[in-house]
Amino acid sequence: MHRRQLLVSALRGATGVAGLTALSLLPRPREAVALGGTLPELDTAAPYFHLAGVAPAVDASGAATAVATELALADFAGNWLVLYFYPRDFTGGCTLEARGFQRDLQAFQRAGAAVVGVSADDPDSHASFCSEEGLAFPLLSDPGGTVSQRYGSWIAPFSQRHTFLIGPDGVIRSRWVAVRPSGHSREVLDELQRLQA
């Protein structure tokens, strides 16, 4: 008999609160739990999203600017998507992470992948952040954490630093939890290239 089954059988014989407490402490199999909720499993469909935010554009004078947009998971069908969640615009770690994705953006695009950031900040904050950092990829706003929760990436009032690599078929192929911002973009790009090889 499996070790967990033996332990459950023994605990079922226990009476009172102690038996129930011990039984409830057993780990649940096949469930990845993060502080922000249950993470979606690898090789399963990515949770749906449809959020407002900002995206890069070029104005009439040829200058880069950020314009209001709405994007959904379906907008990336047939392409790879790097969907990364982060706590706040303009903070040290979040700025370092965004700069990494911007530095490697052309390599992601050559590999057929879009990069999209998500945080609880409003679109105006995202527009300022894109402008100040020269970011040329979309940032989406998830103020109530609805989408972040679906991805196991929410501890109110912030999204947690998690990244998901979603395949052209809408399936999660890789994920990173509690990301370290330094070098993370390169780590994701290396995994994308490995999966495409």
> Which tens digit of pLDDT belongs to each residue from 11-47?
344 444 443 444 344 444 444 444 567 899 999 999 9
Q: Hey, which residues are catalytic here?
A: 94
Give residue 30's region: left, alpha or beta (phi > 0; psi -120 to 50).
left
Q: Which of 144, 178, 183 is nearest to 163 (CA)?
A: 178
Q: Each residue of 183-196: pLDDT tens digit?
A: 999 999 999 999 99
> CB-based contacts of 91: which residues, under 8 Å, 6+ apart?
none
Examine residue 157 and say whether the peptide bond preceding it is cis (omega within 30 degrees of 0).
Answer: yes
pTM of the predicted protein model: 0.81
Domain extent listing, the chain: 3-30, 38-196
Note the CATH architecture for domain 38-196. Answer: 3-Layer(aba) Sandwich (3.40)
Which of 160, 152, 139, 150 is CA-nearest to residue 66?
139
Q: What is the pLDDT of residues 70-95, one digit of tens each?
A: 999 999 999 999 999 999 999 999 99
